[in-house]
Amino acid sequence: MTSQSPPPERAIAPQQQADDVGLDTMLRPQRLTQFTGQDRLKDNLRILIEAARARGETLDHVLFHGPPGLGKTTLAQVVANEMNANIRHTAGPAIEHSGDLAAILSNMRTGDILFIDEVHRLSRPVEEILYPAMEDFVLDLIVGKGPGAKNVRLKLPRFTVIGATTRLALMTAPLRARFGAVYRMDFYDQAAMETIVERGARILDVPIAAEGTAEIARRARGTPRVALRLLRRVRDYAQVRSDGAITHATAVAALDLMEIDALGLDDLDRRVLRAIIEKFNGGPVGLETIAASISEESDTIMDVVEPYLLQLGFLERTSRGRTATAHAYRHLNLPIPDTAPRTVQPGLFGNSEEAS
């Protein structure tokens, strides 16, 4: 397997800009050299890839876990590009029956990559088919029914499974154990977010000032997916309300119009915090109760809202439920009760912030 130079990045033609799905594809890096942030993870991946290529072997099974929007799917595609391998995409909920997975596996070729998003949502019967496929590269099928049924074992070519999950704890231990490389993805720091916004603006061919870049990056919750979404919406605002260039003032006006505050909290984040504080006296309160009180899905709160609020130090998880910290009261300009936690919490980008 020979390495290829990174494909040149280019501006998107005007006729392409109407399709956000197409934009998402264009804005995603294709090589490790283009992927910003997650430096330790990239170093480990680079070693894994170079060693496999030097030995002429298929890559070991890889698992990425962490909050949504940090680039797990993108990294899977990057790994496939670095290995010059074909990649097939599926998701845990899409594989309803063991026969569905058997059909996918029987069509794999040597060196192919099978990417399974939301791998924690695979059903147990499907997992039972996946275990021997990952470990021994065989497919066990039951042919027939009743007393005449028999087990047929088919040999599979050596392939790689890349899994992605936002809920590592929900994966069964046997499935986790079959991944030879497990990597956690963390929120990105301000410098990395600015680089991502700058690259996105360059591909979108939109003029942007350094201050505008910094403002979008600051409000993007340390998440590339959010940063690129905000960049597209600020670009729209600049085109309609300004001269098309993104300045600091334009970025602030556009983001304020979208009700995204200086720390990147949106309406849902603030509703969760206000529900805990105003409806349940600051907590502790259970996740399902919070979800019911604001008519939102508990999974959305757990996967999308909570990780960022915990990272900011706005929430604490206790055995009895979620509790709002003094830092959250201060951010919402609410009086801080004596019962609010006042511990030192890590800031989003590693800075300690006193929550008292």
Task: Classify residue 28 by its DSSP letter.
Answer: S
pLDDT at 143: 63
Helix ranges (H only) for the chain are: 20-27, 39-55, 72-82, 98-105, 124-135, 173-177, 190-204, 210-218, 224-241, 248-257, 267-274, 287-293, 298-300, 306-312, 326-331
Written as six digits, the tokens of 171 are 């994966």
Q: Kindly compute the dihedral angle of the four CA atoms of residues 14, 20, 194, 118, in this order, to the nearest 10 degrees.
A: -150
Residues 6+ apart with CB under 8 A from 126: 95, 96, 97, 98, 100, 101
d(CA 314, CA 336): 13
CA dist 178 and 289 (Å) reads 36
What is the rounded distance in angstroms from the CA atom of residue 165 to the CA atom of residue 148? 39
pLDDT at residue 117 greater than cutoff 90: yes
Q: Check: pTM over 0.75? Answer yes or no.
A: yes
Q: Are 194 and 217 in contact (CB under 8 A)?
A: yes
The structure tokens 């720390």 sit at 263
Handedness of CA 266, 272, 275, 276 (dihedral sign): negative
347 Rama sector, left if φ>0, alpha if ψ -120 to 50, beta otherwise: beta
Residue 12 has pLDDT above 60, yes or no: no
Q: Is 181 helix (H, G, I), strand (E, B) or coil?
A: strand
Burial group, residue 180, by CB count within 10 angstroms (0-12, 13-18, 19+):
middle
List the single range of 152-161, 202-211, 252-261 with lowest mean pLDDT. 152-161
pLDDT > 60? residue 345: no
pLDDT of residue 23: 60
CA neighbor of 66 nearest in space, from 225, 220, 188, 185: 185
Task: State whether residue 242 is helix, strand or coil.
Answer: coil
| Confidence class for position 8, pLDDT limits 50, 70, 90 | very low
How does 21-52 read in b/e, with b if 16+ C-beta sit within 10 Å?
Answer: eebeebbbbbebeebbbbeebbeebeebbeeb
Q: What residue type is assigned to position 167 of the chain? A: R
- Condensed to tens digits (0 to 9), the pLDDT of residues 274-283 reads 999 998 988 8
**pLDDT at 7 > cutoff 60:** no
Domains contained in the chain, CATH given: 38-184 (3.40.50.300), 190-257 (1.10.8.60), 267-354 (1.10.10.10)
Give residue 6's pLDDT.
Answer: 47
Q: Active-site positions?
A: 72-73, 117, 166, 225
Position 192 scores a pLDDT of 94
| Inter-residue long-range contacts of 168-174, CB under 8 Å, 24+ positions, other chains counted | 168/65, 168/120, 170/120, 170/121, 171/119, 171/120, 172/124, 172/127, 174/127, 174/131
For 70-93, write each residue's pLDDT tens digit. 999 999 999 999 999 999 999 999
